[in-house]
């Protein structure tokens, strides 16, 4: 990958993130259109996107974003309340941005249909707004002390600029107080700087917001005559700015992100220097031929005194991108550290040294190690919140399209899921949510009212842990699934013969067969029968499964059950023979040593233990795994009662060893087919313990009676 | 073999012993060599797979190369070594009796492996080299530890059964 491609890849990733964030922000904003902080946030995103897009030659994206930004900027600066239909336009615009982005990435020449339409609307809106607000614009102009720029062309001499800059530096130095820095900034802009998102006025305005005082000197000489003037090229290439601000050098430099390094020069002017020194700081050579006719345009932007709050109001998430591979490596190293630490803590020779300082140091070491381990483990885990928030958008759109009023309830947004899984969860979830609204909810309000429900439908999206898995469920309170209809359809399509005796969940599972749809009318949203089977396969790729549960008239619940590939689990350590196994604590109901009286052997059915009136099959781990362990009776060992997909089972082990948080590691491709084992974990002493997949453990009845 | 026209190229191989036979693996396939360590048994796997080891935080399956080649099992001694081989980014440990040396073998000294009829063992041997008076069998680790090797073995057996019929 060349440097250019690398940068481009970063841009694409970044743009994707910005757009994703825009998507969420715009929905929030739609709900609360008075939140101008949010509008600012959106504006910033759009602005960055514009700069990046133009820098990489994505002109169509740049063009659109540019106009969108203007509109946003208008509202942002006027704080005018936004009309509903315009909000709608904003949401549509974000959609268009998404679409253009895909077009740009795939180098598709045709523009999305909505592009021109939306752009036109934005332009019209802007024109209307601008006209209505001519007084405002004029007001802005009045700020500048010199209205008539042409008159300034009269005096043109180098000293004028130099003197101007120098004079203002001296003036500022005189008033400079503790905590403020004085900078002299020289810009030497390329003609294409607008395309990279730079805008003189906006730039100075932003800079001015952070400054106590700012003064700028524009070199107007290089401006072409009106017939050669190009609106998309910068005629003013040389600008000198003197600014008094509390910002540090780096902070000031952040304002220049749209410019190339050679286009700007920031010089920190030291306070209270003698005049001579100041002059030497000024790069006279560059200034000399640069500025010949300069005009102070903005001077002393009235008292926007450095309000730190301006910068800190918006709490931006600061993030770093890290290759997951590096994280894995870090994981392994920390694992080793823990083992080494345990070795020291448990070393007999060291323990013999009865010295308080040594034992205290070892204690501290173990605390720190534990802390680091916890932190590192949490790095890969991401809250499902962002994905859930995306669903708000989906629900909103679907609700608009279908004309059904829908409330979305989110629960367990903080549930953490491995990052790699989150990425592939979004599409299946979108599909399920659309399904829930389009099919699940009743078609019209009357039907709902008759059923004694609220007119507005409710869709609940939940994430939680259950028996060692993560469950994401989407429930609607709609009409539920008509079993007869599903069966009829399935027979019609030849999926089943109709002779089978199917359980409810088996019937519902038919819905996820390829090419199966019970919708009477095929809608734009769902019902084409290419949906749920795709959802099913993509969830199966994550080694998860989908379960459907439905009560007719009450609603339907889709549950996505995902394994915790890399999640940290709380495990119960058990010993069987010479081996240590781990049972996920989440699935453990209880563990006990049974009395002989409650253990029953049923012929050809194996062993059962009767527990509070329930007969639970006993699974001998040593039999399942063919371990060469001494055969013991259940009342000599320990039964660990666990909840599985197929009901409770009692796993028989030799003894309980302890409880520990462990990281699941895969056993590698060659061993992945072992269904009974979901992975391995490294224990404190460096040994490996295998983690049981309790859902796949079945009592071996054949073995017992053979 | 037109050995005269062949450009001679020297490749480096790690050589090791299984019983009295000397084998070699191309050095670029080898990640590291470690002493025998505790192996955790994994149930329900082919007998030549001995289990898994903890290699500094990663769990790596270990193959008993002797059993893989249908040789007799031998108790580990102080010379027993695990060679960590990396095939297609997957690390696999393989237990050998004794590691000998890293030797440079001139490509002109390599020759096709002899055919032993239907014996599948020869599949793993990419070529045979002559070092002084010793014959070294150079292993094709890709074939030896194919990522889905459990599956491919089943296929081979199936094929043999069907062919046998």
Please indicate whether residue A52 is annotated as part of the active site: no
Give me the CATH number covering residue A642: 2.30.30.40
Decide if A418 is inside a domain. yes
Phi, psi dihedrals of residue A540, rounded to the nearest 5°: -65, -30
Any CB–CB contact under 8 A between B148 and chain A? yes
The pLDDT assigned to B122 comes to 66
Q: How far is A668 from chain B (nearest CA, A)?
A: 7
Considering only residues A168 and A360, tell me which one the structure prediction assigns the higher pLDDT: A360
In this structure, are A227 and A277 located in the same domain?
yes
Mean pLDDT of A240-259: 76
Decide if A224 is inside a domain. yes
Considering only residues A299 and B72, tell me which one the structure prediction assigns the higher pLDDT: B72
Structure-block tokens of residue A543? 């080694």
Burial of A124-153, coded b for 16+ CB within 10 Å and e otherwise, reads ebbeebeeeeeeeeeeeeeeeeeeeeeebe
Among the candidates A316, A341, A367, a domain finishes at A316
Q: Is the pLDDT of residue A210 over 90?
A: no
What's the structural domain count of chain A?
5
Considering only residues A530 and A151, tell me which one the structure prediction assigns the higher pLDDT: A530
Contact A682, A688 (CB under 8 A): yes
Q: How far is A9 from chain B (nearest CA, A)?
A: 24
Structure-block tokens of residue A302? 């009235």
Contact A550, A481 (CB under 8 A): yes
3-state secondary structure of B57: coil
CATH of domain B11-162: 2.40.50.180
Strand A568-576 and strand A655-663: the pairing is: antiparallel
Most confident of A375-384, A443-452, A688-697: A688-697
Average pLDDT taken over every residue of chain A: 75
Q: Is the pLDDT of residue A209 over 70?
A: yes
In this structure, are A293 and A163 located in the same domain?
yes
Decide if A267 is inside a domain. yes
Neighbours of B151 (CB within 10 A): 12
Contact yes or no for A667 and B52 at CB 8 A = yes
In this structure, are A181 and A308 located in the same domain?
yes
Chain B residues with CB-CB distance to A669 below 8 A: 90, 147-148
**Angstrom distance (rounded) from CA A46 to CA A73:** 10
pLDDT digits (tens, 9 = 90+) for A161-183: 666 777 777 777 777 777 777 78
Phi, psi dihedrals of residue A401, rounded to the nearest 5°: -70, -40
**Angstrom distance (rounded) from CA B49 to CA A228:** 79
What ipTM score was computed for the predicted complex, to two decimals?
0.76
In this structure, are A257 and A279 located in the same domain?
yes
pLDDT digits (tens, 9 = 90+) for A41-68: 888 888 888 877 777 777 778 888 888 8
Read off the pLDDT band of A526 (50, 70, 90).
Answer: very low
In this structure, are A422 and A436 located in the same domain?
yes
Chain A residues with CB-CB distance to B54 below 8 A: 682, 686-688
CB-closest option in B57, B61, B147 to A332: B57
**Angstrom distance (rounded) from CA A316 to CA A318:** 6
Percent of chain A topping pLDDT 90: 5
From the list A63, A66, A67, A69, the catalytic residue is: A69
The pLDDT assigned to B82 comes to 95
In this structure, are A375 and A392 located in the same domain?
no
In this structure, are A447 and A528 located in the same domain?
yes
Chain B residues with CB-CB distance to A690 below 8 A: 40, 42-43
In this structure, are A519 and A457 located in the same domain?
yes
pLDDT digits (tens, 9 = 90+) for B31-44: 999 999 989 988 88
In this structure, are A94 and A185 located in the same domain?
no
Structure-block tokens of residue A372? 């680091």
pLDDT digits (tens, 9 = 90+) for B119-162: 555 677 888 888 778 888 888 888 777 644 543 444 444 444 44
pLDDT digits (tens, 9 = 90+) for A6-47: 777 777 777 888 888 888 888 888 777 777 788 888 888 888
Mean pLDDT of A319-323: 78
Among the candidates A259, A294, A316, a domain finishes at A316
Q: Is the pLDDT of residue A453 over 60?
A: yes
Q: Is the pLDDT of residue A277 over 80?
A: no
Structure-block tokens of residue A447? 């039907």
In this structure, are A655 and A612 located in the same domain?
yes
The pLDDT assigned to B160 comes to 44
Any CB–CB contact under 8 A between B141 and chain A? no
Neighbours of A309 (CB within 10 A): 7
In this structure, are A282 and A343 located in the same domain?
no
pLDDT digits (tens, 9 = 90+) for A644-671: 767 789 999 999 998 877 777 777 666 7
The pLDDT assigned to B162 comes to 43
Contact yes or no for A333 and B57 at CB 8 A = yes
Contact yes or no for A677 and B42 at CB 8 A = yes
Report in angstroms the alpha-carbon separations of A64 from A38, A101, B48.
21, 11, 63
Most confident of A87-96, A145-154, A513-522: A87-96
Please indicate whether residue A69 is annotated as part of the active site: yes
Read off the pLDDT band of A518 (50, 70, 90).
Answer: low
Mutate to test the interface with B, among A620, A622, A671, A689 (most CBs of B within 10 A): A671
The pLDDT assigned to A139 comes to 38
In this structure, are A633 and A678 located in the same domain?
yes
Domain encompassing residue A358: 324-381
Decide if A167 is inside a domain. yes
Decide if A230 is inside a domain. yes
Decide if A137 is inside a domain. no
Bridge partners of B23, per DSSP, are B16, B137
From the list A47, A66, A431, A439, the catalytic residue is: A47
For residue A452, give the DSSP letter: T
3-state secondary structure of A315: coil
Structure-block tokens of residue A222? 């290089």
The number of angstroms, rounded, from the C-alpha of A381 to the middle of its chain's C-alpha atoms is 12
Percent of chain A topping pLDDT 70: 78
Read off the pLDDT band of B7 (50, 70, 90).
Answer: low
From the list A52, A54, A181, A435, the catalytic residue is: A435
Considering only residues A196 and A554, tell me which one the structure prediction assigns the higher pLDDT: A554
Q: How far is B39 from chain A (nearest CA, A)?
A: 8
Contact A587, A564 (CB under 8 A): no
Read off the pLDDT band of A2 (50, 70, 90).
Answer: low
Contact A243, A185 (CB under 8 A): yes
Mean pLDDT of B5-31: 84
Burial of B96 (0-12, 13-18, 19+ CB in 10 A): buried
CB-closest option in B41, B44, B60 to A668: B60
* Structure-derived torsion over alpha carbons of residues B123, B129, B134, B135, reported in degrees to the nearest 10: 20
Q: Is the pLDDT of residue A118 over 90?
A: no
Considering only residues A340 and A523, tell me which one the structure prediction assigns the higher pLDDT: A340
CB-closest option in A331, A333, A680 to B52: A680
SS3 of A210-251: CCCEEEEEEECCCCCCHHHCCCCCCCCCEEEEEEEECCCHHH
Contact A213, A244 (CB under 8 A): yes
Q: How many CA atoms lie within 13 A of A503 on its CB side?
A: 5
Mean pLDDT of A604-633: 83
Among the candidates A516, A548, A563, a domain finishes at A563
Residue in chain B lying closest to A678 (CA): B42
Decide if A90 is inside a domain. yes
Give me the CATH number covering residue A482: 3.30.565.10
Please indicate whether residue A435 is annotated as part of the active site: yes
The number of angstroms, rounded, from the C-alpha of A417 to the middle of its chain's C-alpha atoms is 12
3-state secondary structure of A383: strand
- First CA to last CA distance, chain B: 37
Considering only residues A50 and A702, tell me which one the structure prediction assigns the higher pLDDT: A50
């Amino acid at each position: 990958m060349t440097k250019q491609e690398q940068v481009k890849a970063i841009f694409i990733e970044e743009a994707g993130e910005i757009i994703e964030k825009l998507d969420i922000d715009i929905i929030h904003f739609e709900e609360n259109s008075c939140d101008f902080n949010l509008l600012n946030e959106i504006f910033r995103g759009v602005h960055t996107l514009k700069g990046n897009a133009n820098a990489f030659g994505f002109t169509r994206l740049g063009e659109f974003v540019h106009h969108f930004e203007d509109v946003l900027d208008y509202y942002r600066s006027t704080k005018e309340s936004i009309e509903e239909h315009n909000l709608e336009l904003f949401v549509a615009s974000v959609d268009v941005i998404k679409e253009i982005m895909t077009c740009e990435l795939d180098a598709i020449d045709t523009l999305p249909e909505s592009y021109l339409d939306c752009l036109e609307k934005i332009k019209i809106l802007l024109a209307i707004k601008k006209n209505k607000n001519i007084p405002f614009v004029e007001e802005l102009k009045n700020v500048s002390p010199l209205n008539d720029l042409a008159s300034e062309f009269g005096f043109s001499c180098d000293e004028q600029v130099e003197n101007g800059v120098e004079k203002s530096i001296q003036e500022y130095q005189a008033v400079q107080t503790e905590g403020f820095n004085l900078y002299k900034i020289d810009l030497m802009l390329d003609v294409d700087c607008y395309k990279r998102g730079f805008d003189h006025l906006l730039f100075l305005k932003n800079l001015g917001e952070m400054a106590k005082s700012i003064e700028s000197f524009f070199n107007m000489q290089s401006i072409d005559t009106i017939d050669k003037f190009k609106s998309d090229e910068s005629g003013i290439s040389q600008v000198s700015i003197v600014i008094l601000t509390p910002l540090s050098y780096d902070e000031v430099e952040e304002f220049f992100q749209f410019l190339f390094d050679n286009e700007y020069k920031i010089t920190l002017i030291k306070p209270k220097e003698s005049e001579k020194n100041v002059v030497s700081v000024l790069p006279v050579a560059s200034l000399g031929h640069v500025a010949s006719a300069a005009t102070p345009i903005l001077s002393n932007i009235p008292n926007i005194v450095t309000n730190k709050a301006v910068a800190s109001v918006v709490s931006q998430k600061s993030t770093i991108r890290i290759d997951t591979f590096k994280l894995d490596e870090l994981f392994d190293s920390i694992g080793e550290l823990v083992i080494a630490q345990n070795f020291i803590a448990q070393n007999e020779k060291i323990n013999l040294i009865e010295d308080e300082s040594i034992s205290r140091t070892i204690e501290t070491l173990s605390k720190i190690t534990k802390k680091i381990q916890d932190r590192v483990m949490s790095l890969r885990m991401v809250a499902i919140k962002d994905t859930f928030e995306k669903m708000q958008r989906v629900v909103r759109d679907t609700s608009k399209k279908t004309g059904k009023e829908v409330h979305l309830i989110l629960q367990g947004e903080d549930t953490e899921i491995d990052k790699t899984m989150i990425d592939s969860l979004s599409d299946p979830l979108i599909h399920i949510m659309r399904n829930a609204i389009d099919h699940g909810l009743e078609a019209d309000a009357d039907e709902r009212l008759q059923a004694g429900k609220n007119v507005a439908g409710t869709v609940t999206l939940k994430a939680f842990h259950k028996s060692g898995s993560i469950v994401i469920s989407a429930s609607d309170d709609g009409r539920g699934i008509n079993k007869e209809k599903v069966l009829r359809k399935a027979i019609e399509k030849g999926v089943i013969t109709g002779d089978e005796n199917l359980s409810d969940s088996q019937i519902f599972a038919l819905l996820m067969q390829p090419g199966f749809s019970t919708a009477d009318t095929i809608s734009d949203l769902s019902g084409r029968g290419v949906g749920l089977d795709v959802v099913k396969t993509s969830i199966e790729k994550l080694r998860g499964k989908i379960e459907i549960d439905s009560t007719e008239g009450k609603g339907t619940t889709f549950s996505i059950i995902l394994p915790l590939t890399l999640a940290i689990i709380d495990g119960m350590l058990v010993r069987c023979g010479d081996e240590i196994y781990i049972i996920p604590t989440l699935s453990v109901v209880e563990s006990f040593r049974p009395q002989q009286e409650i253990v029953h052997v049923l012929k050809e059915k194996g062993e059962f233990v009767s527990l509070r009136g329930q007969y639970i099959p006993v699974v001998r781990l040593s039999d399942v795994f063919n371990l060469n362990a001494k055969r013991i009776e259940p009342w000599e060992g320990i039964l660990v009662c666990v909840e599985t997909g197929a009901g409770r089972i009692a796993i028989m082990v030799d003894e309980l060893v302890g409880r520990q948080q462990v990281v699941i590691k895969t056993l590698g491709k060659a061993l992945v087919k072992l269904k009974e084992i979901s992975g391995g974990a490294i224990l404190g002493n460096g040994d490996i313990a295998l983690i049981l997949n309790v859902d796949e453990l079945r009592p071996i009845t054949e073995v017992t009676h053979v | 073999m037109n050995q005269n026209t062949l450009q001679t190229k020297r490749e480096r191989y790690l050589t090791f012993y299984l019983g009295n036979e000397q084998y070699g693996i191309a050095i670029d396939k080898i990640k590291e060599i470690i002493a025998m360590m505790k192996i955790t048994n994994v149930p329900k796997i082919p007998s030549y797979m001995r289990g898994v080891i903890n290699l500094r935080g990663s769990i790596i399956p270990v193959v008993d190369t002797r059993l893989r080649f249908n040789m007799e099992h031998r108790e580990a001694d102080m010379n027993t070594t695990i060679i960590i081989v990396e095939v297609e980014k997957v690390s696999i440990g393989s237990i050998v009796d004794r590691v000998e040396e890293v030797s440079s073998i001139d490509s002109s000294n390599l020759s096709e492996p002899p055919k032993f009829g239907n014996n599948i063992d020869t599949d793993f041997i990419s070529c045979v080299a002559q070092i002084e008076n010793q014959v070294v069998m150079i292993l094709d680790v890709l074939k030896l530890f194919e990522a889905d090797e459990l599956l491919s073995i089943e296929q081979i057996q199936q094929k043999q059964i069907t062919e046998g019929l």
